[in-house]
């Protein structure tokens, strides 16, 4: 193959390798265009067979690179989010719970609340699908390009407590304060001591008006004081920050886990 183009910048000759394929592969590697490097021989062959235009070839290669990059970025976002096993909104039977504010739930999944730094609290009994919805929301948000972090409240507080004892709290807090969307699962299943309550408040307060937080809980707001082993003021201050630009999504009904169990 001969090189039929003049180099665009004659002062800086970039095509140093006499083998045009080797030179191209070198340059693609330098530009980190891995997908183009992988598929260009096949695309060129197909283009020759089908008599495609050079513009088609270029457009196909660039589109393939972009698709591969977006997919890699999505996989990175999903890994960073530490989401549980995938669940989807489609798999969630809206007709199962006795009561569910369907429109509010669907609105969450368009993810516009994230850009507005709004929050939500999903309240409902065990087995009603709170973790399912929170997980599905996490995957959807990742697909929309949002940086997400999912954690059970107890895991976050254990991690932050250990970090505080080790003197690395500031760094540990960033894990939960920097993502655009923080998904906190299972508030209220275990009591939270004073230190945990302070740490949880620090996270919620740091995210107030600068990030979105979605929390699931089996406890109504009036019972939040009982979750924290401190006075009610902290629970009230936390609810204030979450609800100032946020909404409560209350789901009622029986556990889905018991759905197919025959009555005793
Ligand atoms: P919670 O977090 O509220 O205790 P989960 O989200 O863990 O409940 O739900 C328990 C199980 O039931 C999960 O496997 C979940 O996928 C399933 N599930 C719950 N609600 C529904 C629903 N409405 N439609 C489909 N599956 C559901
Ligand atoms: Mg759950």
Alpha helices in 31-168 (DSSP H): 34-50, 54-81, 102-108, 112-115, 130-143, 153-166
Residues in the chain: 264
Ligand 1 contact, 93 CB (< 6 A): yes
What stretches of 143-225 adopt beta strand conformation (E)?
148-152, 181-187, 212-217
d(CA 28, CA 33): 5
Tell me which H or E stretch contains 120.
strand 119-123
What tens digit of pLDDT does each residue of 72-106 get? 999 999 999 999 999 999 999 999 999 999 999 99
Ligand 1 within 6 A of 256 CB?
yes
Q: What is the pLDDT of residues 165-178, one digit of tens each?
A: 999 999 999 999 99
77 lines ligand 1 (CB under 6 A): no
Q: Which ligand is nearest to the CA of 154?
A: 2
pLDDT > 80? residue 28: yes
Cα 130 to ligand 2 centre (Å): 5
Closest CA to 219 of 191, 194, 257, 241: 191
Give residue 205 CA to ligand 2 midpoint distance, Å: 24
Q: How confident is the model at residue 250 (pLDDT cuts 50, 70, 90)?
A: very high
Please indicate, yes or no, whether the overall pTM of this predicted structure exceeds 0.85.
Answer: yes
pLDDT over 80 at 1, yes or no: no
The Cα-based distances of 225 to 32, 36, 185, 232, 244 in angstroms read 53, 57, 18, 5, 18
Average pLDDT score, the chain:
93
Binding site membership of 152 for ligand 1 (Cβ less than 6 Å): no
């Amino acid at each position: 193959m001969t090189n039929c183009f003049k180099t665009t910048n004659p002062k800086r000759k970039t095509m140093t390798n006499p083998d045009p394929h080797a030179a191209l592969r070198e340059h693609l590697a330098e530009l980190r265009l891995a997908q183009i490097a992988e598929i260009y021989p096949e695309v060129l062959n197909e283009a020759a067979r089908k008599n495609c235009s050079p513009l088609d070839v270029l457009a196909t290669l660039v589109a393939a690179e972009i698709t591969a990059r977006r997919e890699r970025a999505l996989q990175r976002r999903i890994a960073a989010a530490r989401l549980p096993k995938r669940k989807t909104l489609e798999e969630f039977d809206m007709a199962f719970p006795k009561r569910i504010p369907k429109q509010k739930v669907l609105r969450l999944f368009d993810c516009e609340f994230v850009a507005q730094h709004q929050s939500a609290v999903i309240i409902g009994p065990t087995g009603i699908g709170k973790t399912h919805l929170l997980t599905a929301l996490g995957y959807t948000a990742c697909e929309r390009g949002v940086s997400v972090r999912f954690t059970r409240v107890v895991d976050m507080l254990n991690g932050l407590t250990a970090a505080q004892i080790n003197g690395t709290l500031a760094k540990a807090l960033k894990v939960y304060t920097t993502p655009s969307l923080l998904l906190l699962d299972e508030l209220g299943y275990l009591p939270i001591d004073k230190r945990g309550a302070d740490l949880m408040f620090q996270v919620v307060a740091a995210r107030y008006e600068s990030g979105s937080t979605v929390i699931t809980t089996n406890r109504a707001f009036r019972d939040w004081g009982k979750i924290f082993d401190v006075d009610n003021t902290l629970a009230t201050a936390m609810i204030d920050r979450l609800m100032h630009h946020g909404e409560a999504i209350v789901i009622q009904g029986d556990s889905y886990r018991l759905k197919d169990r025959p009555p005793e």
